[in-house]
């Protein structure tokens, strides 16, 4: 009976760790997407303005901007979010996003 209980506890801990990792990945994606959109609005003002605005939005969404590049009017950013799936175990979830004006009409 004790062994079955320990297996169930271990399965619960593993499930919680997987859930925390998936949540961290979603937070990183959201922060990257919103940061890229915010930075794209300022792309005409130059790299400093665009990347600064992107960093503000990324930080407001719980992430840290690790890379920011302007390619014409497109901004490409990479974001990192700290995830703690288990006490004492910290990992990083990363995501990248690109935003800018459309270059061809739809359809």
Is this prediction's pTM over 0.75? yes
| Angle ∠(34,55,33) on CA atoms, nearest 5 | 20
Cβ–Cβ < 8 Å for 39, 71: no
pLDDT per residue as tens digits for the range 16-69: 888 888 888 999 999 999 999 999 999 999 999 999 999 999 999 999 999 999
What three-state secondary structure class fits 36? helix
Going by C-alpha positions, the residue among 19, 27, 17 that lies closest to residue 88 is 17
Q: What residue spans define the domains of the chain?
A: 1-99
Cβ–Cβ < 8 Å for 16, 89: no
The pLDDT value given to residue 104? 66
The pLDDT value given to residue 107? 65
pLDDT per residue as tens digits for the range 39-54: 999 999 999 999 999 9
């Amino acid at each position: 009976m004790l062994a079955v209980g320990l297996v169930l506890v271990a399965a619960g801990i593993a499930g919680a760790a997987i859930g925390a990792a998936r949540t961290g990945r979603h937070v990183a994606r959201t922060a990257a997407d919103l940061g890229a959109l915010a930075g794209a609005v300022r792309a005409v003002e130059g790299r400093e303005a665009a990347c600064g605005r992107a960093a503000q939005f990324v930080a407001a969404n719980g992430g840290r901007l690790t890379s920011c590049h302007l390619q014409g009017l497109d901004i490409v950013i990479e974001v990192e979010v700290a995830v703690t799936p288990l006490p004492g175990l910290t990992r990083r979830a990363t995501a990248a996003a690109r935003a800018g004006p459309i270059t061809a009409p739809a359809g």
